[in-house]
Structure 1
Amino acid sequence: METQITGTDLLSAGYTETPILGLALKLANTAYSGQPKEDVVALFKKVKGYPESFLDDEVLEPLATAMIEEANIPKEDIIPLIENAKEYAVYGEKNIEKGALDQMNIAMRLPVTVAGALMPDAHQGYGLPIGGVLATRNAIIPYGVGVDIGCRMALSVYDIPAEDYMLNESKYKRELIAHTKFGAGHGYHGQYKASHDVIDRAEFGMTKFIKNLQDKAWSQLGTSGGGNHFVEFGIIEFEERDEALNIDKGRYVALLTHSGSRGFGATVAGHYTRLAKDLCKLPKEAANLAYLGLDTQEGQEYWIAMNLAGDYASACHEVIHDKMAKAIGAQVLAKVENHHNFAWKEMHEGEEVIVHRKGATPAGKGVMGIIPGSMTAPGFLVRGKGEEAAINSASHGAGRQMSRTQAIKNITKADMKQVLKDHGVNLIGAGRDEAPMAYKDIDMVMAAQTGLVDVVAKFTPKLVRMADDGSRED
């Protein structure tokens, strides 16, 4: 009676679950079907160990050749992480979720990492946590920058006293609706398209891939997208005169915007992240931190595209702010703008490094920035202190304490309506995933970073517009 050779028999002889196993099984049960099982297994074990000795065997030559060819296929070179994570500063650690800390610990084990810091609004993201700051040596991490490249805050302080808003709220609401557009994929067309020099920049001709995004970028110029992006009117209060801004003590109407590089930036991020993953093989837990060397063509392409996306995001804010100032007949006393989701060449301990701030605000000494709270919580105009341990950074907002899914499950429409009423905020658009209760306490976050920034003024939201279709950026 013939005994069938099984996959288990050959696995015990050193074979693995590859196409080679199927070829060996076929040969074992055809050419050697009448032989004792132990002899056949022993023979195939020899072939596995020394395939070159069977290249002249009329039966086993195909198997031996396949084994040698398989052995000569180049193996993917996995770049190992360093064994122990480098130390880094954490601000407000007791209110930061474990997932964000775990992600930062992995980022600190990259061979290109020089230094890092975690801001008090940190929460888990993709690759680098949101609120993570990472300095690298001659390497750029697309997911260390983020999907919404150059996402930023922009604040215009008007020559209009706070009382004017209270008396003319309907006018502000009318103009806000007329001159803003929200939602993933949404844009302007034909005669309604905005104009800005950024659309004519030579960098759009850098590659065919970037060139093909130029029309999309133009149509979305001056729009705000989905997610947590907003345009809002509010009251900003300076408790004392600020000499640098040349603004007297008082309460003024102000416009605050938050948005980024729209579909253009998101498409660039996706393209170069995939490219980085193909070129930079990291262990599974670090795969989203794949990086591109700045001395490579791909790294240079991404660097140029990232900077173009950042300037495009700035242009989007400029278009909105210019439209709004003209619509309400205001003079701008001061404008402050800062961005996150970006990378900069900076000096750190005497060395030029690439500083990634994914959801973190630049806070070098004397650098102005805006840190928002939520649609009901105040935001703060700040001036950086230049703290080296924080890599000259601060938080970019309050930070989420609930995921979008958790917020929708746990917060009712009635809850949201009540909290808006309690704070005297008029909301246009936005879903429960952006409810104020989904965010951390901004006062707690600010208390954790008193060593990083000084507060210059306090902004209180009054009229907020966000995407009303639950969309995220495409």
Structure 2
Amino acid sequence: MASQLRGNDLRQLGFPEGRAIGLALAQLQRKEHKRLPQTEQLALLKTILTNPTDYLTDLAWSHTAAALLPAPSRHVALVPRKEYATFGAEHIEQGAIHQMETAMKLPVTVAGALMPDAHHGYGLPIGGVLATDNAVIPYAVGVDIGCRMALSVFDLPAKYLGQRTQELRNLLLANTRFGGGRGWDRGQRLGHDVLERDEFATVPFLKNKHATAVEQIGTSGSGNHFVEFGLVEITDPTNDLGLPLGQYVGVLSHSGSRGLGASVANHYTGLARDVCKLPAEAQYLAWLGLDTEAGQEYWAAMTLAGDYASACHEQIHRRLAKALGEKPLAKVENHHNFAWKETLADGREVITHRKGATPAGAGVLGIIPGSMTAPGFIVRGRGVPASLASASHGAGRLLSRTRAKAELGEAEVRRHLADYGVELIGGGLDEAPMAYKDIHTVMASQRELVDVLGSFTPKIVRMDGA
């Protein structure tokens, strides 16, 4: 076992007198660090001391890193934490809860809620819902602005999926594009009204984003983005889709605003951090007032990015419907990673941020996916005030991407997919079904938030990758 470091060891390393030393020594007593040789402990501490900003989002070292940074010159103080509702608390990691607690201390925060699929993210946790007073927080919206689910239901029998597997696989390969920077070749592109929007000319930051938007429209990103054929089963006769009970073939897609949304998020987060100097642990929750020029610019750019994400899905589904030679009987679409101007039950007007959370107002339809080997659910919101009329946006991660890659094997994942009869094109270990929470457990934690109208079970899945 490594010998124990003391305060003088850290002072010799260059640690300043103060809280950082005590926090670092306490962290070194945790079992994952205590077993490290002293030379490795010192090397780690030196790295944190040299680049503390790199560790502000690290679950283990964020408090130490924050204590190493100088207090901002225009400090915005946090306030006592406001109460918020948590759904499925027993299934939510402490990192996400810590982030939500921090968000509830912002002076602009009015109300909040944490969904059962919540996990750690930048700023607001993924699965966090935050209502603010006349302020928008770019990182409480998220990087992939307007990321959404879209489902098309076709009048094709369930057996079609098994009989035409290879044909459907080829349709996905021919009619979808995935990955960072990927777009359609010039002769393959489809036009869309969103590309003619004035914001590309009137919002200064967007003036050089139009060409990329034209190239990438109708494509999907990497990570957990997908397009898949699967089995739709309608189980509620009052489903609001006009569909009889029974089974159908469906196309389900999940992706967002591509490079456009990511560039908007990062640019305006930088602006927000410049004008809103929060304590280090809350710095990614910096906001822009909607009564400022920057706030209005971000709102316009965010709205455009959300509409662009919807246009991407519209083109994906249009291409696949044409390839199938079918018109959809019904469509359902919902988005997350967005901010809405809403009125709370008590009449207060707020900006509601849903970062990885599904709008679930009374009568609002949506899709909550599971994983490649677990069903997703078509739902109708119940408008519960405690959840800020929200629900989960999926099952939520059980393993981080790093842990999934380290702990899961390619052969193991392929066997798992084969056991469930799922054909996968692309994808990686970080998106393996085992990296996600049990969707049934998540749904059980939000029975009061949504009614289930039907399900979608994936069968042929396309993701980024070879």
Output the TM-score relative to the length of structure 1.
Answer: 0.82
Amino acid at match of 2:272: A
Q: Please say if 1:244 is aligned against 2:240.
A: yes
Distance 2:236 2:123 in 1: 42
Paired residues for 1:174-213 under 5 Å: 174-213=170-209
**Which of 442, 447, 457 is the matching residue for 1:445?**
442
C-alpha contact (below 8 Å) 2:236/2:452 kept by paired residues: no
**Residue 92 (structure 1) aligned with residue 100 (structure 2):** no
1:216-227 to structure 2, matched below 5 A, reads: 216-227=212-223
Question: Which AA in structure 2 matches 1:339?
Answer: H
Are the equivalent residues in 1 in contact too, given 2:203–2:301 (CA < 8 A)?
no
For the residue of structure 2 that corresponds to 1:161, the secondary structure is: coil
Counterpart secondary structure, 2:232: strand
Aligned positions of 1:315-464 closer than 5 A: 315-348=311-344, 349-464=346-461
The 3-state SS of whatever aligns with 1:215 is: helix
Find the counterpart in structure 2 of residue 287 from structure 1: 283
Please list the CA deviations of residues 178-207 of structure 1 after superposition, one character each: whole Å capped at 9, or x if unmatched.
000001111123212221110011111123
Query: What's the CA shift for 1:243?
Result: 5.2
TM-superposed CA distance for 1:242, in Å, is 3.5
The secondary structure found in structure 2 opposite 1:332 is coil
Secondary structure of the residue aligned to 2:300 is helix
Which amino acid is 1:218 matched to? V
In structure 2, distance between residues paired with 1:364 and 1:331: 28
Cα separation, 1, equivalents of 2:203 and 2:159:
51
Contact 2:239 2:453 in 1 (8 A): no
State the match for 1:150 in structure 2. Answer: 146
Q: Distance in 2 between matches of 1:465 and 1:241?
A: 31
Q: Distance in 2 between matches of 1:452 and 1:154?
A: 20
Structure 1 residue 238: Cα displacement: 1.0
Structure ID, larger Rg: 1
Query: 2 CA distance for matches of 1:105 and 1:239?
Result: 38
Once the two structures are TM-superposed, the CA of residue 256 in structure 1 deviates from its matched residue by: 0.2
**Displacement of 1:357:** 0.2
Deviation of the 1:161 alpha carbon: 1.6
CA distance in 2, matches of 1:243, 1:454: 10
Q: Separation in 1 of the partners of 2:404 and 2:160? A: 35
Whichever residue aligns with residue 402 of structure 2, its letter is T
Corresponding residue to 1:131 among 120, 127, 130:
127
Give distance in 2, aligned partners of 1:267 and 1:289. 17
1:238 partner amino acid: I
Q: Give CA deviations for 1:65-116 in whole Å, capped at 9, x if unaligned.
A: xxxxxxxxxx82201000x210100001011000000000000000000000
Verify the 8 A CA contact 1:428 1:468 in the aligned structure 2.
yes
Kindly provide the amino acid, as one letter, of the partner of residue 79 in structure 1.
V
Q: Does 2:263 align with 1:303?
A: no
Give the distance between the partners of 1:105 and 1:412, measured in 2 at CA. 36
Which amino acid in structure 1 is aligned with residue 342 of structure 2? E
- Aligned partners of 2:317, 2:218: CA distance in 1, in Å? 9
Shift of 1:225: 1.1
Q: Does 2:76 match 1:79?
A: yes
Q: CA deviation at 1:159?
A: 1.3
Q: CA–CA distance in 1 between the matches of 2:285 and 2:106? A: 8
Residues 216, 263 of structure 1: 8 Å contact kept: yes
1:197-218 residue CA offsets vs partner (Å, 9 max, x unmatched): 1001111112332010011011
Name structure 2 gaps, 5 residues minimum.
1-15, 18-71
User: Counterpart of 2:59?
Assistant: none
Residues 243 and 381 of structure 1, relative CA distance in 2, 3 Å threshold: closer
- Deviation of 1:172 after TM superposition, in Å, equals 1.0
Q: Is the Cα contact below 8 Å between 2:402 and 2:430 reproduced in 1?
A: yes
Kindly tell me: are residues 240 and 393 of structure 1, through their superposed partners in 2, closer, same or farther at Cα, counting changes over 3 Å?
A: closer
Q: Is the 8 A contact 1:242 1:248 kept in 2?
A: no
Report the 3-state secondary structure (helix = DSSP H, G, I; strand = E; otherwise coil) of the residue aligned with 2:155.
strand
In 1, distance between residues paired with 2:197 and 2:156? 35
Which amino acid is the alignment partner of residue 257 of structure 2? Answer: S
Q: Which moved more, 1:185-194 or 1:131-140?
A: 185-194
CA displacement at 1:414 relative to structure 2: 1.2
1:170 is aligned to 2:160: no
Identity of aligned pairs, percent?
Answer: 61
Structure 2 counterpart SS, 1:184: coil
CA contact (8 A) 1:240 1:250 kept: no
Amino acid at match of 1:332: P
Q: Give the secondary-structure state (helix, strand or coil) at the position aligned to 1:443.
A: helix
**How far apart, CA to CA, are the structure 2 residues paired with 1:385 and 1:243?**
14
**CA distance in structure 1 between the partners assigned to 2:100 and 2:322 by the alignment:** 44
| Secondary structure at 2:362 match in 1 | coil
Other structure's SS at 1:322 match: helix
CA distance in 1, matches of 2:367, 2:116: 15
Q: Partners of 2:450 and 2:309 in 1: how far apart?
A: 24
Partner of 1:109: 105
Output one character per residue of 1:14-44: Cα deviation in whole Å (capped at 9) or x when no partner.
Answer: xx99xxxxxxxxxxxxxxxxxxxxxxxxxxx
Given residue 298 of structure 1, which amino acid in structure 2 is its aligned partner? Answer: A
Name the SS for the 1:160 alignment partner. Answer: coil
CA–CA distance in 1 between the matches of 2:210 and 2:303?
15
In 2, distance between residues paired with 1:185 and 1:463?
24
Alpha-carbon spacing, 1:399–1:314, altered in 2? closer, same or farther (3 Å)? same
